[in-house]
Amino acid sequence: MNQKLRLGVNIDHVATIRNARGGIHPDPVRAAKIVASVGGDGITAHLREDRRHIRDADIERIMDATDLPLNLEMAATDEMLDIALRHKPHAACIVPEKREERTTEGGLDAAGQHNNLMPFISKLRDANIRVSLFIEAEPRQIEAAIHLQAPVVEFHTGRYAHFGFDGDAKGVESELKRISDAAALAAKNGIEAHAGHGLTFENVQPIAAITQLAELNIGHYLIGEAIFLGLEESVRKMRSLMDAAR
């Protein structure tokens, strides 16, 4: 029997809708509780420099709302390090961040930023915060994760998703192989492999079928589908598709 693939639900865009008008509705904490009630395995939230969705005050509230682990996505800055060390989430996923981007556009260059990341990761690890690196599915980046002693990597699946949206079957096949090979390489070296970005009901199963992956983190699509299905059904359907792929 294959190990259950965990589903982490990113609730950022509940906060995006809240912030568009101000006030307190819709509350991302309510979303976290719903995710916990319908089979989600974790909560992901990205605290951006510009606070466009999750805000500082949301972090503690989300952590207090459920027993699910919080995966705090964050840039490798002194400000974010201080916040992580203060709140001590279960995990901190280090992501690239540019103020002008609409969403995370690619993986972190862990290899190129090795010297800057090393002390940052060491401080998180010393605080018993599980470190994850959001990277491209490339051997060079996995090698960097090994040297940085990061126990988890999360592979950026945006290229895979975009090839599918464009109807490029060869591109999809190539990306699937790249991600599968990278997950196998990570597992061989004792690193837990996760994946996420651009995953939908239509494209999740080939990724979920990669047995070396331990977790998928999915957010924007699930929150978008919640408009039509409700968040409960949106998460349940994704959970069912992932389970069927295993």
> Quick check: is 197 catalytic?
yes
Asked about 53 being catalytic, the answer comes back as no
Nearest to residue 183, comparing CAs of 118, 120, 138, 220?
A: 138
Choosing from 13, 46, 53, 156, the catalytic residue is: 46
**From 53, 73, 154, 215, active-site residue:** 73
Active-site residue identified among 136, 156, 197, 215: 197
Q: Please indicate whether residue 25 is annotated as part of the active site.
A: no
What is the token pair recorded at 117?
A: 């990341």
Q: Which residues are catalytic?
A: 46, 73, 197
